[in-house]
Chain A
């Protein structure tokens, strides 16, 4: 037994000794590896972690009830943006990867997508928002999680008016947009105006802003405001009320399917083409517009943020060339803006030298960036809704013949 015990003890000692030796070797290896890794990082070499791509998140409506037409355009713009950035060598020596999430225009789905992008996919910037409600809901979470957002085509005041550090936007806000159609109405000397708006942050905000400016500027317009639920499939009762009001002009504040439904049914009850109608955004610029409306689309006016006649920056021209080559059609605003969002975030990271959110936000606030237009993109800590906001120039275009494009549409009004 003794000998056995002794043997066992000796063996245990040897094992223990062996283990200690292995531990020492391991420690030395780890130490060496650590020093080597630190040296490589310090020398700017390419350790595995630093080669990971930088992730840009896109949250945009790709399925109904969202505005899928614009969602597709935002997706296209972001894809070309990331392709361009990577061709230019990426950011800080790293490639950029895009993660596209479908919000379906729903606030809760957008919030879940943001959480997934930031927590699981380590996205450092999120853009592509089309629906204001979704953008506003995401900002409430983003202000806690810290990763900056950029509204690509979200117009409601609260997207930036809450003055959250993380909230940025490159789109027309409510006051100048309402001012645009009020200017168009004033120019034509119209007095009675019907506003038909959906009960979303976007619709309510624009309807209220129009009424507010009418009072503040003493325009003396008689305004009929009718709100509707955006899941409504029949707008005839509302349009019959509009017809009875006998307006000089109609402001169509629907997004997606309700916008198109309103055009069709306004024709049915005889409001169109006799009564001018302006849509609150550039939906008629989409290539699908004429398939949906045919002759009924003639006479429709729309707020546009870009016309092919507009002057583009070199970056904008490069994008237009790539877009035309890839999709065989000229680019429209949502795609241009989404492209510019990707470029602006990339430039901000380069300027900050890091993807750390606070440094990126500081770079965005202090920098001046090149976008698709010749007007530099800046995000000042301005008052009210203009906080962190860059607004494109606005105009009203009108289709005077079937199959027109924004390039051939009549310029009905420009700010």
Chain B
């Protein structure tokens, strides 16, 4: 392995940039969990849907100049799909008496994962696609970066900031935070908690859809492109703490850094292993994650 200060800086920048994109994915997972108390195993498939919408919008309708509009359409599209699916798949968990909610959610979301993946193969075939990008290479310090990657990282940071503002400064954010703390209390205050669930689920999958759209020119579009990214998302929520927004961002950055530095300076074939080692380390030192809080269930 070659080592130099310049190479180290380049690797760190590369790791941080990919980390921001991982964080966007993790945020969707952690947000859905904090409100609906459900792990959505089909999160990678919403990432995949976002990437397909981005490809269709850029390649067939808008052209590369309007990539940002396509990304917004992708996010809105996945939001709507989430809003439609939640009452059918997730709501029965709460609206009907059910003893094993976690098992139900696992089975339902894994079935959804298989359905969406098969649909993608049926509609688009098993091929790879890439939405065109006319953004030129941008230098970040000593590291040349694809314009699409820089744009994706900036948009991811903007999306994280917008999400934080919605959650902290708006009525719907207040209601969502309240539902995350105590569903029954929210219901007794006259808030339709089922509608909140649907909104939270839709926002969560829309974040994944946005990640898919932003990463489509970099990591390409194919039926299983969300699989690896969603695994990263789950690693990040263990690192950052389940339900924590800052945890998702810091966890994403840490994972991106560890993977890049490990691949560049220790051993490249184990790039995916370094993230798991970090997860194990965090589980030993801080089992609830860096920003996670110990929960209590009645």
Could you list which residues of chain A lie within 8 angstroms of chain B, going by C-beta atoms? 61-66, 68-69, 71-72, 199, 226-229, 231-234, 236-238, 240-241, 244-245, 256-257, 260-261, 264-265, 267-270, 288, 291-294
Contacts and interface: CB of A to CB of B under 8 A. Distances in A.
Contacts of A65: 224
A226 B268 contact: yes
B60 to A, nearest CB: 12
Contacts of B264: 237-238, 240-241
Contact of B128 (A199, A229, A257): A257
A62 B35 CA distance: 38
A72 to B, nearest CB: 7
Contacts of A232: 263, 271-272
Contacts of A269: 143-144
B219 A233 contact: yes
Contacts of B225: 64
Contact of A288 (B127, B218, B272): B127
Given A65-B224, A257-B128, A240 B14 contact: yes
Contacts of B228: 231, 233
B16 to A, nearest CB: 12
A269 B149 CA distance: 12
A260 B143 CA distance: 21
Interface SS majority for chain B: helix
B185 interface: no
A290 to B, nearest CB: 11
Interface size for chain B: under 10, 10 to 19, 20 to 34, or 35 or more residues? 35 or more
A244 B4 contact: yes
Given A240-B14, A268-B144, A269-B144, A261 B126 contact: no
Contacts of B127: 68-69, 72, 288
Given A64-B126, A229-B271, A237 B219 contact: no
20 contacts: A63-B224, A66-B126, A68-B222, A72-B125, A229-B272, A234-B219, A234-B260, A237-B259, A237-B261, A237-B263, A244-B2, A256-B128, A257-B128, A261-B219, A265-B146, A268-B144, A268-B146, A270-B137, A291-B129, A292-B129
Given A240-B264, A245-B2, A261-B220, A231 B272 contact: yes
Contacts of B54: none
B289 interface: no
Nearest to B272: A229
Interface in B254-271: 259-261, 263-264, 268-271
Contacts of A66: 126
A62 B126 contact: yes
B86 interface: no
B271 A228 contact: yes
B260 A236 contact: yes
B240 interface: no
A241 B7 contact: yes
Given A63-B224, A240-B14, A261-B219, A227 B269 contact: yes
A291 B130 contact: yes
Given A240-B10, A244-B2, A268-B146, A292 B130 contact: yes
Contact of A292 (B128, B269, B271): B128
Contacts of B224: 63-65
B121 interface: yes
**Which residue of A229, A237, A245 has the most chain B CB atoms within 10 A of its CB atom?**
A237
B223 interface: yes
Contact of B268 (A227, A233, A270, A288): A227
Contacts of A260: 128, 220
Nearest to A203: B269
Contact of A270 (B1, B144, B222, B269): B144
B144 A228 contact: no
Interface in B114-136: 121, 125-130, 132
A234 to B, nearest CB: 5
A294 B2 CA distance: 32
**Which residue of B4, B261, B270 has the most chain A CB atoms within 10 A of its CB atom?**
B270
A129 to B, nearest CB: 17
